[in-house]
Structure 1
Amino acid sequence: MDLWSRFTRTSKGLEEQESSSPSQSEPTAKISSIFIYPIKSCRGISVSKAPLTPTGFKWDRNWLVVNSRGRAYTQRVEPKLALVEVELPTEAFDEGFDIKKDSFMVLKAPGMQPLNICLSKPHEVADGVSVWEWNGSAWDEGAEASQWFSDYLGKPSRLVRFNNDSQVRPVDPDYAKGHQIMFSDCFPFLLASQESLDAVNQHLEDPVPINRFRPNILVEGCEPFSEDLWTEIKISSFSFLGVKLCSRCKVPSINQATAISEPEPNQTLMKIRSGKVLRPKGKDQNKTYFGQNMVWNWRDCYAKKNGNVLNVGDPVYVMKKVTSAAEAAA
């Protein structure tokens, strides 16, 4: 039984309870945007609400493009993935969404005809799929999807879907023991603030949008980089743990509108957000940081009358924090 099935079974039959009032009377921030990335490294979707699951938002990083050996393609090596647009039915973000035969994910890319991917699970299994440290099997989306991505990228490719009926991909237990993900890099959720983006952009001649950093949750109303310090927060009535500062790779340097790599904002991040600056006594002095990786405390969650859903506008309460980025896990 997969993680979400265990959660829903545990929750079923429990008395519904309203959220208790956080100890902090006033919220520190509120959600300004929610982003879902159905296919890893492809373009995200901005939504007004999103159901929570233990492995991340519903539909987030459920799919992955792989090469002929089953190894994951990401924007690090295939920046053209940034131009692949993904559309899901609006009702797919309703918690009780019922997948029908005509429920499709639609893919679009420059020079390509739109491709429909049926949301019903495929029947074929692809073995030997790998992303970073993980190896396992996945659902294969078939020959048409394979040909579409092969033509677009100019090399043999396949589209696969995480098989949560049989596969488990644990989060690093040193940071979040007992939590799992699908095809996300490391953690189920990434949170960043508008104020942090604004602070970085003050150093840039050409400001960059938040899509360079690909967060799931964007908040506003807090101090710049204050999310570095948050170790436990409540969003609406849901408890999250901030478990690791997000170290950044080359992806923020890829213009998401053109798929062209640029010097910024990575050069500026090295000047103002490196380990040398933020964590002078720590390891990884040459890494840069932007955003906070999080997990949802789903084990402590009871069934909610309105479902396990986050909405744009939901308040953010800081329950616990450290005093400096040097004390945060990284």
Structure 2
Amino acid sequence: MAKINLSALAIYPLKSAKAINLTHSQVSEMGLEHDRRFIISDMQGQFITGRTEPKISTIKIEVSAQGIMLSAPHMPPIAFIFKELQQDYTDVTVWGTAIQGQRCSDDMNRWLTKFLGVDCQLLYFGEKSSRQVANVDKQVGFADGYPLLLISQASLDELNRSTSRPIDMRQFRTNLVVTGCEPFAEDTWKRIKIGDAEFELVKACERCIFTTLSPGQTRFADDKEPLKTLNLFRKDNDGRIDFGQNLISHNTAEIKLGDSIEVLEYHQPKFYADNRPKQKSVVSAPKAIVKHPAVQQAKTLWGKGETRQLCCVAVIDETPDTKTFRFRVEPAALLNYKPGQFITLNLKIGQDLVMRNYTLSSSPSRPDLLAITVKRVPEGKASNWLNDNLTVGSRLGASSPRGAFHAFTATTQKLLLLSAGSGITPMLSMARYYADTECDKDIVFFYSAKTSADLIALDELQLLTRQHTNMRLILTLTAESTHSDWSGLRGRIDQQMLADVVRDISDRSAYVCGPEAFMTTMATALTALNVPADQQFQESFGDHKHSDIPGKPVNILLESWDTSFVGDNKTTLLEQAEKNGVNIPYNCRAGYCGACRVTLESGEVRVLADHALTDDGKKAKKILACSCIPQTDVVISA
């Protein structure tokens, strides 16, 4: 039987905001430490989530023992310390349940109001806050209903077999991802053990419109995926679309990546009719049987955004202040990244959870190990900690490699790799890849350092240029002693030096990495030397409201709620009702669950989706408030 392991671990300290990926966490009755402890609400106490304000998902939160820091696109970061928590509490309503939320600060409220464009406040699940899990004598914070969510990687893989495009695990905002089981095996689990922690799986997780929001986006997907596909094979008899399992914890313990999953008890799973189109079976050629001297762990695809554990297997002193760390990935992963991409490390430094991006200096042509090369820098919290503390055998978490800065974006046969200081790391990855694959690209590797003692991987670079006859190595030093025997170039790389050394520079795709001032100087110089913009690459770390239909006011009468107001023909009926104080029941907000079904007594609406309506329902003028937009004056009843 295959071994089932915990392969990803994440928390969402601010409900609907970005995740923090972890390598280990304390788990208690309330779930994972720090998970869903903050929430945004309007000034009347109604909770606000990504279902109605998808911009929340772009807010990044960092947590320390002292407090939190929020950052968001085009906004200055803002910090809040727990000592500033106000002593008064106010009601916040989460799915019909009133919870006492502790007020944070006016500065934080103003920051969120400016970013979201709606009057709102930040609340904390404080010592006086209390909320019970439905039908269970357990506490839960600001999660939708249960403290924890688990999904198997195999279930996502099965979903992606049927979708028109890949769906990212991050869209389901799960706490726990497990590998090594069959698709939807978690449906059959009643009680499990992860490490020393025991859990009970109490309810399938019903999915909503929020799952159609891809990471980094602020618009829900026009194709309604993954709900569109899940609707075909994960819809229960009550019309709920399920994916993943909600858990409660029965003890306090620590769990960590790589922990084995032991199933303590099974139960009969819910029934889901599979209405997917039948897929043709794939006929493969017989595979040769190869006997191995030892059983090796099968490598699996390292999913986008998935966190795995890195075990340090080597530490190499490159210069007096720079080290290279080599890692083995656990569980074993297929390392199919592109030369020049980076990984995000999850570090526990003191009481702080710190996430930092580091470019890989290793090459995908050497697939067994990953490597990063880290230079000590003044006040560099993560870089200095790695240099001081990481040793062979140390383990830390990392998300899968990614990044738009990589070797495969080149538009020409000739390349120029320009780097200064530790900016050499992506260039090392590219140079190693091109040498290993014996490509025929013409490469100039131009590297600037302070002194000869600061040259990173010099011996290997010289070896690579001997192996790859089309690669030319050029070095310049900016602070080398005049009394040294250095015979190479001196001074910073500038426009004149580039023109003198790289005569055919306008024919080359130029990759640039280094300090910000260096990259700015290089961009100016390259442009002045007629290198086209599309040859310059630098390392740097369905919206219906915008339709072409002319806007106009419409009168909306919500007859069953004894409410009328002047609305518009650009916004869904559900959104306009909520704006005017009417809470029409809803769940998925994507037209699949039917919870917001109402009757159109008169008038016309533009239908965005009607998946949850039967033919008889449509004839009876039933509509879905979340998925229709008034086009004329309308009268609506429950």
Q: TM-score, normalised by structure 2?
A: 0.41
CA distance in 2, matches of 1:57, 1:259: 27
**Equivalent of residue 130 in structure 2, options 165, 168, 173:** 168
Does 1:288 pair with 2:233?
A: no
**Equivalent of residue 260 in structure 2, options 315, 318, 322:** 315
Q: 2:149 aligns to what?
A: 190
Pick closer, same or farther for the CA change 1:326–1:160 going to 2, 3 Å.
Answer: same
* Paired residues of 2:196 and 2:255 also in contact (CA < 8 A): no
CA distance in 2, matches of 1:149, 1:221: 41
CA-to-partner distance for each residue in 1:82-128, whole Å, 9 max, x for gaps? 11111224xxxxxxxxx3xxx23111111110011213461242312
* Paired residues of 2:192 and 2:261 also in contact (CA < 8 A): yes
CA distance in 1, matches of 2:160, 2:44: 40
**Equivalent of residue 217 in structure 1, options 176, 179, 182:** 176
Q: 1:118 aligns to what?
A: 81
CA-to-partner distance for each residue in 1:18-54, whole Å, 9 max, x for gaps? xxxxxxxx77511101010000111111110111121
Q: 1:5 aligns to what?
A: none
Q: 2:139 aligns to what?
A: 180
CA distance in 1, matches of 2:147, 2:48: 19
**Equivalent of residue 63 in structure 2, options 88, 97, 100:** 88
**Equivalent of residue 232 in structure 2, options 261, 271, 293:** 271
Worse-superposed segment, 125-134 or 153-162: 125-134
CA distance in 1, matches of 2:138, 2:2: 27
* Paired residues of 1:29 and 1:220 also in contact (CA < 8 A): yes
Using the TM superposition, give the Cα deviation of residue 287 of structure 1 relative to its aligned residue in structure 2, in angstroms: 1.3
CA distance in 2, matches of 1:77, 1:50: 30
CA-to-partner distance for each residue in 1:162-193, whole Å, 9 max, x for gaps? 12x223200111xxx20110101000110001
**Equivalent of residue 65 in structure 1, options 40, 55, 71:** 40
Q: 1:79 aligns to what?
A: 54
CA distance in 2, matches of 1:48, 1:269: 30
Amino acid in structure 1 at the alignment position of 2:170: N
Amino acid in structure 1 at the alignment position of 2:203: K
CA-to-partner distance for each residue in 1:116-168, whole Å, 9 max, x for gaps? 121346124231222112213221111110000000011111111012x2232
CA distance in 2, matches of 1:226, 1:117: 42
Consecutive aligned runs of 4 or more in structure 1 exceeding 4 Å deviation:
none
CA distance in 2, matches of 1:326, 1:273: 9
Using the TM superposition, give the Cα deviation of residue 248 of structure 1 relative to its aligned residue in structure 2, in angstroms: 0.8
Q: 1:43 aligns to what?
A: 18
* Paired residues of 1:27 and 1:315 also in contact (CA < 8 A): no
Counterpart secondary structure, 2:16: coil
* Paired residues of 1:61 and 1:184 also in contact (CA < 8 A): yes
Q: 2:432 aligns to what?
A: none
CA distance in 1, matches of 2:140, 2:47: 15
CA distance in 2, matches of 1:121, 1:244: 37
Q: 2:301 aligns to what?
A: none
Q: Which has the higher strand share?
A: 2
Counterpart secondary structure, 1:325: coil
Map 1:193-208 → 2, pairs under 5 A: 193-208=152-167
Using the TM superposition, give the Cα deviation of residue 57 of structure 1 relative to its aligned residue in structure 2, in angstroms: 0.6
**Equivalent of residue 152 in structure 1, options 92, 115, 119:** 115
Q: 2:211 aligns to what?
A: 252
Q: Which one scores higher on RCO, CA 8 angstroms, separation ≥ 6? A: 1
* Paired residues of 1:124 and 1:141 also in contact (CA < 8 A): no
Q: 1:236 aligns to what?
A: 195
Amino acid in structure 1 at the alignment position of 2:141: M
CA-to-partner distance for each residue in 1:223-251, whole Å, 9 max, x for gaps? 01110111100111221101011111111
CA distance in 2, matches of 1:247, 1:255: 18
What is the RMSD of the two structures over their aligned residues, measured on CA atoms? Answer: 1.6
Identity of aligned residues (%): 29
Pick closer, same or farther for the CA change 1:248–1:30 going to 2, 3 Å.
Answer: same
* Paired residues of 2:9 and 2:257 also in contact (CA < 8 A): yes
CA distance in 2, matches of 1:46, 1:109: 18
CA distance in 1, matches of 2:7, 2:98: 35
Q: TM-score, normalised by structure 1?
A: 0.78
Aligned residue pairs, count: 270
CA distance in 1, matches of 2:5, 2:20: 19
Q: 1:15 aligns to what?
A: none
Counterpart secondary structure, 1:113: strand
User: Which one has the largest radius of gyration?
Assistant: 2
* Paired residues of 1:150 and 1:158 also in contact (CA < 8 A): yes
Pick closer, same or farther for the CA change 1:27–1:138 going to 2, 3 Å.
Answer: farther
Counterpart secondary structure, 1:123: coil
CA distance in 2, matches of 1:317, 1:121: 43
Counterpart secondary structure, 1:200: helix
CA distance in 1, matches of 2:3, 2:117: 47
CA distance in 2, matches of 1:138, 1:167: 6
CA distance in 2, matches of 1:120, 1:187: 28
CA distance in 2, matches of 1:119, 1:266: 39
* Paired residues of 1:124 and 1:142 also in contact (CA < 8 A): no
Q: 1:143 aligns to what?
A: 106
Using the TM superposition, give the Cα deviation of residue 255 of structure 1 relative to its aligned residue in structure 2, in angstroms: 1.7
In structure 1, stretches of 5+ residues that fail to align are 1-25, 90-98, 276-281, 302-307
CA distance in 1, matches of 2:229, 2:84: 43
